[in-house]
Chain A
């Protein structure tokens, strides 16, 4: 009995002594050549391509940012019927937008994340508040400018991304988003029938760890009104891993400079926009009014790891107004497609001056 107890004690002691310093790498000499001809125990394994390449700016799980535009002029037309080739419309409402600012929150959580399939679902919330001066409008209480100042513009949405590698080189990428945009408040969210849907499908190749490209088709509101456009993805990192590109044309083009694996800078542009249903405005026709906001943001963005998987971003640039025109849409929530050749008339032809802007964000990035 005594010997047995002693044996137990010795076994447990040996196990305690065998603990090692896990921070060190192995030092023992080993003949690694024996692993060169190793074969799969159960036949061949299929290799699937990764959704990323080396040194891309990190994808984000959660993101909170503050976006602010510096002063610019706003000139809005009267609500009416304007042919698509209309120019030099006499302003009906004017104001100086001293500040256009708001919070942008984004979450993107992986539902399925394996080497065979990646599916992410997310939420986004964007809010833009307007601070005007020198307002000149014949309808002080019910004008578009008044509504912008009173409620601002809000976008809330759901989005989903699926990445399906077909083999070691080819993949399919599918994106879908549903957004509710308008001059509503969180306490009085507008009807879901006014949700606007966008999506994209791409097929691409990832020939090596430093390059991936894809071509596809997108239905997008980035230029304000719905459009169907071909898209091209081209992500590339130089052999020295100091430079690269992050391109999803026409939505964005960026050149990337990597300082190290924890900081980088992007230079380029992004086209961003949405269609906002404007409530609280008296209409002459039994229709809804939607402002088609589309803007080109030429910018520099510095990204840096703050701690662990928390990264910070600082972005500054120039916002060029692509469109702030408005359309009539149906009260049942349906939209229409004008594309680049349609002749449907605009409800408003508006002009916004360009503006400098900045954006500061903090993000939880993905592995």
Chain B
């Protein structure tokens, strides 16, 4: 009799565990799907570049896929990251350059813990991305605290 009760309890525990696992997985996948809304091609407010954001592993990255002026006016060669303080990076082409790095979706339409690189001055900033609507991002680069920063508006592009 006692063994029968134990077996029933074990079965109930297993069902409960399975349910918790399914719920956790479902919630996790839903959050990931929410986060994946960031994927796509975006254009900053200055219209100089287009950036493709994609998820690699668990984090989101954005690379330059188009430049309004692809050639350096002085060398007439494809633009490179010549302002990078790291001399070994100064010959890396800007097209394909990953300027958004390491963002994770933290819920509430916000991607945090990432960085944004400005090739125009070679500076790297902490960054937070806020999705205002499905086609608009507020990208805030800052130093140390969010108050010391600047927000740029990026718009989603449709690739034909």
Contact = CB atoms under 8 A, between A and B. Distances in A.
A47 B95 CA distance: 22
Interface string A1-40: 1001100100100010011101011100010101111111
A30 B41 CA distance: 14
A113 interface: yes
A15 B160 contact: no
Nearest to B159: A38
Interface string B16-54: 011001000100000000000000010101110010100
A320 interface: no
A186 to B, nearest CB: 26
Nearest to A114: B151
A50 B151 CA distance: 12
B132 to A, nearest CB: 11
Given A1-B14, A32-B65, A38-B41, A367 B150 contact: yes
B149 to A, nearest CB: 6
B74 A240 contact: yes
B74 A366 contact: no
A54 B46 CA distance: 14
Nearest to A115: B45
Interface size class of A (residues with CB under 8 A): 35 or more
B79 interface: no
Nearest to B114: A22
Contact of A8 (B25, B83, B135, B150): B25
A367 B143 contact: yes
Interface in B119-160: 120-123, 125, 134-136, 138, 141-143, 147-153, 155-160
A42 interface: yes
B73 A366 contact: no
9 contacts: A4-B18, A25-B97, A25-B98, A26-B98, A38-B43, A39-B160, A47-B46, A110-B148, A239-B73
B143 to A, nearest CB: 5
Interface string A121-144: 000000000000000000000000
Given A20-B57, A32-B66, A40-B158, A367 B50 contact: no
A261 interface: yes
B66 to A, nearest CB: 4
Given A4-B18, A4-B21, A34-B159, A367 B142 contact: yes
Nearest to B123: A367
A35 B50 contact: yes
Across chains A and B, which 7 residue pairs bring their CB atoms closest together, nearest first?
Answer: A18-B57, A38-B157, A115-B45, A45-B155, A35-B66, A114-B151, A41-B156
Given A1-B18, A19-B57, A30-B65, 12 more contacts: A18-B57, A25-B98, A38-B159, A39-B160, A42-B156, A47-B47, A110-B147, A114-B151, A239-B74, A261-B121, A366-B148, A367-B142
B102 A22 contact: yes
A364 interface: yes
A261 B101 CA distance: 22
A4 B42 CA distance: 39
